[in-house]
Amino acid sequence: MMRRLYRRILALAATPRASWWLALIAFAEASVFPIPPDALLIPMILARPRAAFRLAAIATLASVAGGALGYGIGYALFDRLAIPILQLYHLEPAFARFRAAYAQWGLAVILIKGLTPIPYKLVTIASGAAQFDFPLFMAASLATRGARFFAIAALLRHFGDRARDFIDRRLGLITGALAFGIVFGFALLRFLPG
């Protein structure tokens, strides 16, 4: 089943509309969608290695734009939805401490979590909820998302056919490693500040 899905994604990656799908997935993942854009970016680069850096730029810009939406969700909806609950349980002082900690450590949180398999949407929404400085948030997001996607592009462009052969032979191992990385990312959330 995974091999069939992988072949479908490779086929989609070679179509003229693939860039639009990549942009849509990268945008949505930054605020609400659960699947990271890497799932499409990697096969797209393998299908068209010469377009690697253009595809990384599309993923970066769309992800950062989606991050602005995630920030807006945290900023605009958090007070409406979460503050009544915080008040009900008398947790306003705890939230004030969270905002203060995020003001101090937020840049580090954005930089670290933007490069890891931890879902980026958690960073974007938390940044908005903490009312972190928006221009600084956008600059840090651009740096970390760009570093991540351009690193993937450079590696795949350099190792191209060897990477594809490796994926073809070890798809089960790669899928398991990816699942482990996502679970590890969520577990890591418990131990990082913010």
pTM of the predicted structure, to 2 decimals: 0.74
Residue 46 exposed, middle or buried by CB count within 10 Å (0-12, 13-18, 19+): buried
Asked if the model's pLDDT at residue 140 lies above 60, the reply is yes
Determine the pLDDT at residue 130: 86
Asked if the model's pLDDT at residue 27 lies above 90, the reply is yes
Determine the pLDDT at residue 165: 66
Give the residue-averaged pLDDT of 173-191: 58
